[in-house]
Amino acid sequence: MTDNAKSDSQTRLLLAQFLFANNVEIEALYRALGADLSNADSEAVSHMAGIIDGVALATAKIRAHGIDDWTKN
């Protein structure tokens, strides 16, 4: 792996951020790629779902409480 290469975890995180920012559901991505989710690596799918859930929760809290106080509530 080169110095600029992303790890699998980093790549999944970047993909999750992109999907969330563009309001793309992970299932829609898999359908568009012609991939069967049941054949996907369960650890990777679980990791992506966790990241997307975390980003969604953080975004909701930032909207509700502001950028400075979102972690306090």
Mean pLDDT by 10 residues, the chain (73 residues): 75 79 80 79 81 80 83 75
Quote the CA–CA distance of 11 and 33 in Å, as a whole number.
Answer: 17
Q: Which domain holds residue 34?
A: 9-65
Chain position carrying tokens 């299932």 = 27
Residue 23: which region, alpha, beta or left (left: phi > 0; alpha: psi -120 to 50)?
Answer: left
**Given this model, what pLDDT does residue 47 score?**
81
Q: What's the structural domain count of the chain?
A: 1
In a domain, 71, yes or no: no
In a domain, 29, yes or no: yes
